[in-house]
Structure 1
Amino acid sequence: MISDPSEPRSGRLAMWGNALLAGRVSPDDAAGAITGDDAVHRVRGLPGEPGPVGLTLALGRLRGLGVTGWRVALPVPGHPLGLSGPAEFNARALAAAEAAVGFGAPYGLVPEVSGAGPAGDRHVEVVWECLPVREAHPADVPSLGEAERELAEGLREATLVLSRLDVAASGPAAEAAIDAYRARAEAGTAALAPGYPPRAVRVLELAGRVGSLVTLALTSGHGGAVSASEMAARGEALRPVERVARRARVAAYNAYVEELERGR
């Protein structure tokens, strides 16, 4: 499974939740940044609440219950990245391919995304399920320093794969994908919420570039220029690179908690 390079909702929740905990943003601003382009976010299963509540109330309640930081999990089958159990939470997070995990108190949030409204006027609603988590070090998450070193090698490997592609033979779709990648690289749009170290921003941006290269390599041959077996072999070769990019993204989002742990 190759993950989508777009920003995960759990990443938005973790980084803006951390900015709120650090006193860098207001509760309403944090909730607005987490919601983004979605219509509404609610939290279900919060202790003491009989039904779903809004993000502002939920984040405040979880802070009162002892959450002092938020981590991100981006698991895929065979790689429980960022998870620490128990089994029910891991299964829900794996089905969603992401989760936000509280630090300081045993609570985690898994998003359930749905569309609502008539055709032509659809909007996205997100319900975060609050579930108990095991307080333990998350699986396979590197430090920022480790992630940065791994990404440098991952970028070289992804670039080598791309260099072997016959872009002209792949058609206009591949050329458009390359143009989009170049625009992304030049723009350097990756950003984190206030309070994150510059190194985390750098790691997140590089992880996005590596992820985009992987996606480009896996899509540029479609349309007949590359056989199905060749595409499958390419995907297998790039799987370790995609894994590196995902680990680095989690490390960047988790940098706030990494600093909290270092200060203990």
Structure 2
Amino acid sequence: MLATPAADPFQEPRSARLTAWGNALLAGAASPDDAATAVLGHDDSHRVTGLPGDADGELHALTWAMGRLRVMGVKGLRLALPAAGHPLGLTGPAAFNAAALVAGEAVLAVGAPIGFVPEVTEFGPAGDRSATVLWRCSAVGDGPPADVPSLDEAERELAEGLRQATVLLARLDVAGAGPEALRALEAYRRRGHDELLAPGYPPRAVRVLQSARQVGALLSIAAGGHGAAVSASEMAARREVLAPLERTARRAQTAAYNALVDEERR
């Protein structure tokens, strides 16, 4: 089943920010304060619980928890972006995978068998929402993460995926929605991007992430039915055609965020 595209394809998952800036911190390319500020984003607070040796319910600030990870021998972090039927980046056990699937994201440590799943609590009136994030730590398997490609593989898949997405938009919008879809994509571009990844990442990883986000924008446009009226059966057919591209974009996004640790090991 095709995962529902994000309302904003350029919005960075919280686990992605933690992976990128946690890796920069562990590599010595970012200070603890800069990393914590970047991970916080627009949220009110982030806390970590469940670290090995913690008492039940013990909470830690993000900067303290990252220092603790370094002492535990953690060398880096990996992003997981699972969806139904596709445990992308996960290593088990079943309970951790289930929690990550509900969240749609998780972070796995390199060098210690632990992982983190964010629990987000939102509050405030519509239009002025705030959020707090609790990162729950638990044990994970030590096998290879599921289905994460190399940057080489991701770049090749994205090039073909972007070509297919562009062709499909033109074919599926027979009543002139092609130009409207392009206008929507240009609107995404005009909004600008936050700084991609974090200090220390290779330029190729940034390029792969940019392409993945562009494919994500095209998918959102196609799923939104820009242009002429689209029937329910036509939308179902469109989702089926676009499902492989959604998977390609998530795989590439994961490869980009994991590049600082995975490409070095390769």
Give the alignment's TM-score, normalised by structure 1.
Answer: 0.91
1:17 and 2:22 are equivalent in the alignment: yes
Match of 1:164 among 155, 161, 171: 171
Question: Who is 1:244 aligned against?
Answer: 248
Question: Who is 1:258 aligned against?
Answer: 262
Structure 1 residues 234 and 261, CA gap change in structure 2 (3 angstroms): same
Question: Who is 1:78 aligned against?
Answer: 85
Amino acid at match of 1:2: T
Question: Who is 1:193 aligned against?
Answer: 198
1:56 and 2:58 are equivalent in the alignment: no
Following the alignment from structure 1 to structure 2, what is the Cα–Cα distance between the partners of residues 158 and 189? 24
Following the alignment from structure 2 to structure 1, what is the Cα–Cα distance between the partners of residues 119 and 13? 12
Question: Who is 1:146 aligned against?
Answer: 153
Determine if contact 1:20/1:26 at 8 Å carries over to the other structure: yes
* TM-fit CA distance, 1:252: 0.2
Determine if contact 1:92/1:110 at 8 Å carries over to the other structure: yes
Q: Which runs of 5+ in 2 are unaligned?
A: none
Q: Report Cα offsets for 1:122-169 as digits up to 9, x if no partner.
A: 311111100111111100000000000000000011001111244876
Following the alignment from structure 2 to structure 1, what is the Cα–Cα distance between the partners of residues 76 and 62? 16
Question: Who is 1:30 aligned against?
Answer: 35
Structure 1 residues 125 and 188, CA gap change in structure 2 (3 angstroms): closer
Determine if contact 2:225/2:235 at 8 Å carries over to the other structure: no
* TM-fit CA distance, 1:182: 4.7
Amino acid at match of 1:86: P
1:137 and 2:144 are equivalent in the alignment: yes
* TM-fit CA distance, 1:64: 1.1
1:212 and 2:229 are equivalent in the alignment: no
1:87 and 2:89 are equivalent in the alignment: no
Name the count of aligned residue pairs: 259
Determine if contact 2:22/2:76 at 8 Å carries over to the other structure: yes
Question: Any idea what SS the aligned residue of 1:164 has?
Answer: helix
Determine if contact 2:22/2:35 at 8 Å carries over to the other structure: yes
* TM-fit CA distance, 1:175: 7.1
Question: Who is 2:4 aligned against?
Answer: 2
Determine if contact 1:167/1:175 at 8 Å carries over to the other structure: no
Determine if contact 1:99/1:109 at 8 Å carries over to the other structure: yes
Following the alignment from structure 2 to structure 1, what is the Cα–Cα distance between the partners of residues 193 and 115? 31
Structure 1 residues 155 and 116, CA gap change in structure 2 (3 angstroms): same
Following the alignment from structure 2 to structure 1, what is the Cα–Cα distance between the partners of residues 201 and 86? 26
Aligned-pair Cα RMSD in Å: 2.3
- 1:88-107 paired onto structure 2 within 5 Å: 88-107=95-114
* TM-fit CA distance, 1:237: 0.2
Amino acid at match of 1:229: S
Following the alignment from structure 1 to structure 2, what is the Cα–Cα distance between the partners of residues 49 and 111? 18
Determine if contact 1:167/1:174 at 8 Å carries over to the other structure: no
Structure 1 residues 119 and 254, CA gap change in structure 2 (3 angstroms): closer
Q: Which runs of 5+ in 1 are unaligned?
A: none
Question: Any idea what SS the aligned residue of 2:234 has?
Answer: helix
Amino acid at match of 2:144: H
* TM-fit CA distance, 1:209: 0.3
Following the alignment from structure 1 to structure 2, what is the Cα–Cα distance between the partners of residues 206 and 164? 21
Higher relative contact order, chain-length normalized (CA < 8 Å, sep 6+): 2
Amino acid at match of 2:199: P
* TM-fit CA distance, 1:98: 0.3
